[in-house]
Chains A and B, each alone.
Chain A
């Protein structure tokens, strides 16, 4: 089946099997390997991307469901060689270790901050509860998201 879609502002098209998972389209066909696979059952969130602005887990969606949609992946966060405040926040607050869950965390947090620009610690914890991290213990991820929120509020992005 033919799929055309927009990813990070660029047009892509591909002929795919109807059963091809969206995450495999991104990673194996289009070679956008920043989006990761951690569990196949929508529990870990390593594959989280944005579809028309909403976070979705691309390991349990078909590529054809993304036809005509606007997708955003971790590769789309940096604009004109300028990091997104979330990316800066994750570095500044040590919100990542092995880096494997990080793209999914960043995308979930990106969508969350659009809806809730001044989150409390508890708000952030609930927002990222669909993304598992085995390294950081979440404390610094929460700080990183709040760091980004403060920066955005100051006009950082």
Chain B
């Protein structure tokens, strides 16, 4: 990309150092648990050991006798205010605290308020709860069988555990294509429950100030404005009005989707603060975080792919069972209960496709949120990339050649997919070719063939993904009715420095830096002179927040549009100062000059000063603008990843030897930050591919509920990622950018899974569900007689 600004200005394309870092490397960030207010109380939560049980009695006597314990809050206390249930983002309902029964292990049962963390924990341990266990439903398939115990007895007339049925696409055309197909493949693919496990857990400090009638909540949230509105809607009847609610999302220690939902702990802390008139802190511990916060995935997928004799793909058919736990607490746009799963035709020019998804209730924690991906896009990508690989292998065509043959071609863009999406731009073959050249694909295939002769197991896996991010156009995209625009407000000060505020909230992505670079690009004001602020609802313009890779596509676009409004006014002022017509002025980043007389010019700083000291009569003073950007379409980042694995034929251990990731996120704002996003995303792709899973035994006991058995990759397991780019700008985004934070998490698991299956294909292995643990591989190797 051509650089339009100098390194000193630091516009797009410059790898300027991050503005966030000076405070973080000194330990001077402010995360929620760092907030300590005078007189602050602490909340700890009593959690239930059963997967499904009636609450017989909650005895608080012993807890209340502990020094420092002030109160034990139960569902019955909240019921008086009708706050014992709350809506989920999917318009289902979720208990804040239970009154009758508990629905999953580790569910909140009561909360203890005390003068210290330790007293609160003592109190929580001393609350005695009597339970009467109920039949447990863990498997979503069994949940939908006739005669299964009905879990949601709170819902009148609910006679089963089926939440919703959703389907998309042309069933007739798809079935016809399968009828005519020369080759078909079919596979059951399970994408297990996983957890984002940001290193900072969730929590809040709620402070209700009775004198001013104002509630301030410091909160680990990715979407502060939406939270404010939800609080006002849910608690309006107890006197919380939206202008008296201030949500502050301070520094956030990783979000990845897990900090989008409203968890019961937040609501209880707010209620406790309102009732006591004191600040109340609630910080969950790691086990609470893993065991009770929203999970991701848990999709049981059956996929079929059809092709002609020559290997041309024709149709895709998918049926999926989505396990949502006891309530649908996903965080999808409201029109899409299965998120954007119907981007599952991926990078391939399929003529027909049909997708069905059914949601089921089980005795597990609620969720269905994303794990660093746009609404169910990893599920879609994993499915199509596994199926394409399966078909290529079955037809004995090299998986790279097979993809090249079936890709949507560059000249087909904008491309209307069989499931109705309009892909904005792409060059899929270009990215795959670059990945193949970088890794030395042909040589690797030769090496693999030689090793196979010697009995060594080596695999090469490809994933050529297409993402769909930047939700989204207001016509189709809303969360609880709130349209999914986002915002930027710019104020240029008299001395030419500026402050810009946004409706999004960085959790490590570096918005303070990249947004400043966008404004530097558009206005020529050095990025160093622009202060970026987010996360305080009293000061920032309304926006829907940061998740689903929407910050650059939506708020980044708002920054460009707002900056162009500032520039439009600046042009008028410059024309006045230079005594020429506006049309006689030429803009280059940082100044307007007179056409044909380049030494007659005014810098943006001159103009800013004049906007407050010498503005034209009849014009309003000041140099400010705001944009609420409604994207005309989504953006479709893509890429091709190639992974080389060696499988230990004795132990089944998979080692990722090399991993080349070629991403195309359109125009790049800060290459250093983009590479960092890809590195992190790849590691969060490696994690579920090989290590992470939360599962349950038959009576609903969690497995994977602490870092002892939920394995995050360390620096030792993580390979040295090799990254690169192609650049295919988005035609509709003002900066040609697409978003990149999640591409790698979406694309990487399939590359790894495809590599492992590729290593074992000649033994008759056709599919392995992730995480591909040594135990799973060892079992297969033993079945195939490779190891004892």
Contacts and interface: CB of A to CB of B under 8 A. Distances in A.
Contact of B672 (A75, A94, A142): A94
A94 B675 contact: yes
- By secondary structure, the B interface counts as loop
Contacts of A46: 199
Interface string A124-156: 111011111111111111100000000000000
Interface string B259-278: 00000000000000000000
Nearest to A31: B36
Nearest to A125: B715
Contacts of A92: 17
Given A138-B683, A139-B721, A91 B18 contact: yes
A132 B286 contact: no
Contacts of B675: 94
A41 B708 contact: yes
B740 interface: no
Given A28-B117, A87-B25, A139 B18 contact: no
B26 A36 contact: no
A102 B199 CA distance: 11
A24 B117 contact: yes
Given A41-B286, A138-B715, A28 B24 contact: no
B307 interface: no
Task: Name the residue in B28, B196, B199, B720 with the highest tally of chain A Cβ atoms < 10 Å from its Cβ.
Answer: B199
Interface stretch (B250-258, B414-422, B551-559): B250-258
Interface in B588-605: none
Given A87-B26, A99-B508, A136 B199 contact: no
Contacts of A126: 715-716
Contacts of A24: 117
B286 A134 contact: no
Contact of A136 (B36, B118, B198, B679): B679
Contacts of A106: 25
Contacts, number: 173
B287 interface: yes
A134 B27 contact: no
Contact of B673 (A94, A102, A130): A94
Nearest to A128: B715
B118 A35 contact: no
A67 B675 CA distance: 44
A138 B708 CA distance: 21
B720 A121 contact: yes
A28 B283 CA distance: 13
A56 to B, nearest CB: 17
Interface residues of A, number: 59
B13 to A, nearest CB: 16
B676 A94 contact: yes
Contact of B715 (A77, A100, A129): A129
Given A41-B707, A94-B18, A135-B254, A75 B679 contact: no
B31 interface: yes
A120 B196 CA distance: 31
A91 B287 CA distance: 32
A121 B720 CA distance: 10
B285 A36 contact: no
B118 A17 contact: yes
B447 interface: no
A17 B117 CA distance: 12
B20 interface: yes
Interface in B194-208: 196-201
- By secondary structure, the A interface counts as loop
Contacts of B374: none
A136 B20 CA distance: 15
Interface residues of B, number: 57
B253 A100 contact: yes
B718 interface: yes
A109 B712 CA distance: 20
A38 B18 CA distance: 24
Given A19-B118, A135-B508, A138-B718, A100 B26 contact: no
Nearest to A78: B26
Given A103-B27, A132-B714, A138-B683, A97 B508 contact: yes
Nearest to B509: A97
A12 to B, nearest CB: 16
A91 B254 contact: no
B510 interface: yes
Interface string A63-98: 000000000011101100001000100111010111
B507 interface: yes
Task: Name the residue in B20, B29, B34, B253 with the highest tally of chain A Cβ atoms < 10 Å from its Cβ.
Answer: B253
B682 interface: yes
A117 B251 CA distance: 33
A89 to B, nearest CB: 9
Nearest to B711: A43
Contacts of A124: 715
A42 B362 CA distance: 32
A20 interface: yes
Interface string A20-43: 100010011001111111111101
Rank and list the top 7 A-B pairs by shortest CB-CB distance, nearest first: A34-B27, A98-B508, A100-B253, A99-B24, A137-B679, A74-B27, A97-B508
19 contacts: A33-B31, A36-B200, A75-B27, A91-B17, A92-B17, A97-B254, A97-B508, A98-B252, A99-B24, A99-B253, A100-B253, A100-B254, A121-B720, A130-B714, A134-B198, A134-B254, A136-B683, A137-B718, A139-B718
Given A100-B200, A134-B198, A134-B254, 18 more contacts: A36-B31, A39-B286, A41-B706, A41-B707, A73-B27, A74-B27, A83-B25, A98-B254, A98-B508, A99-B29, A99-B251, A101-B199, A126-B715, A129-B714, A132-B712, A134-B197, A134-B680, A141-B715
